[in-house]
Amino acid sequence: MQKRKLGRSGLEVSALGLGCMGMSFSYGPAADRQEMIALLRSAVDRGVTLFDTAEVYGPFTNEDLVGEALAPVRDKVVIATKFGFDLDPKGERMWAGLNSRPEHIKEVAEASLKRLRTDVIDLFYQHRVDPNVPIEDVAGAVKDLIRAGKVRHFGLSEAGAQTIRRAHAVQPVTALQSEYSLWWRKPEAEVLPVLEELGIGFVPYSPLGKGFLTGKIDATTTFDATDFRTTLPRFTPEARKANQAVIDLLGRIAAGRKATPAQVALAWLLAQKPWIVPIPGTRKLSRLDENMGAAALVLTADDLREIDAAAANIPVQGDRYPEHLEKMTGL
């Protein structure tokens, strides 16, 4: 697995990381814990070094899973987790609102360190921008944690250009994590230029469009009642039927390269900037291997032009989130 550096921070990770959320949260019932521990360790064996989790995933259970799985190989991996929500300590509900007050950030760090079975968090993201707390105060709190040796790097998620600049002025931001893929390209307009200017890495989540860009989902696909995609406008049967054109495009490119649509979608992301590190998630070893194959797939300039030209003529149907969730993003 090739390595990449997240901007000018010096933090080097595998070209593809692993998003761990779906192992225990959002995509239907949680997977078998021992199977997921085995999958996480298999990822390490295959060269993956960046693992992404958050306290809200579960809540709490995903951090605990990642902590147990990676404890034997802690010195070989980079663990990223996130703060920014008010959570029920019993884990009986997802979240009660945003909370990035400095004292809360420090409490979350202590709790996450215990669940992750480690003495330092490699990359600590603000999960969503909190409009009630100045970003300078957030950056200052993480700066304190870095000085204390409890955190190594500061990250933001779904933050807009001006928020990134303000935070970076207080504590250098190592990485921004936001959704980015062939069917969600909004970061290209304002965010990517700022990241390049400031030397900040970019970690796209949902690089496979929450599974849609794999080509394994169509208008007839049914989801478990607990799968959060049942709430997303972009995943209504009508939208999935309309958005099949994106899969057809990926399939055409993939057929000519003896690859899969998922590999083309990931290779396209990797080709955008050398400081982009996507974090596709999976529960299956076969999908892990498929995704990792994307790192070896080099798209030509002609491939990239063909993809961009065709994608420009495909209007993606459906909002990515319901309105109340979209409002929680800073883009």
H-only helix segments in 16-125: 33-45, 61-70, 102-115
What is residue 252's three-state secondary structure? helix
Of residues 57, 125, 180, 205, which has the active-site annotation? 57
Structure tokens belonging to residue 303: 């491939």
What pLDDT is stored for residue 331 in this prediction? 56
User: Dihedral of CA 105/116/40/12: which sign?
Assistant: positive
- Per-residue pLDDT of 262-274, as tens digits, reads 999 999 999 999 9
What pLDDT is stored for residue 194 in this prediction? 98
Choose among 309, 225, 219, 212: nearest CA to 265. Answer: 212
What pLDDT is stored for residue 22 in this prediction? 97
Domain boundaries, the chain: 3-326
With contact defined as beta carbons under 8 Å apart, do 244 and 220 qualify?
A: no
With contact defined as beta carbons under 8 Å apart, do 138 and 130 qualify?
A: yes
Q: What average pLDDT values come out for the chain (331 residues) when binned by 10 residues?
A: 96 98 95 98 98 96 98 98 90 77 98 98 98 98 98 98 98 98 96 98 98 95 95 96 94 95 98 98 98 96 93 92 80 56
Structure tokens belonging to residue 37: 């521990």
Question: At 291, which helix (H) or strand (E)?
Answer: helix 285-293
Rounded-to-integer distance, Cα 23 and Cα 37, Å: 10
Q: Calculate the dihedral angle through the C-alpha atoms of 331, 279, 249, 289, rounding to the nearest 10 degrees.
A: -170
Choose among 198, 192, 189: nearest CA to 170. Answer: 198
Q: Is there a catalytic annotation at residue 27?
A: no
Give me the architecture of the 3-326 domain, per CATH.
Alpha-Beta Barrel (3.20)
What pLDDT is stored for residue 96 in this prediction? 77
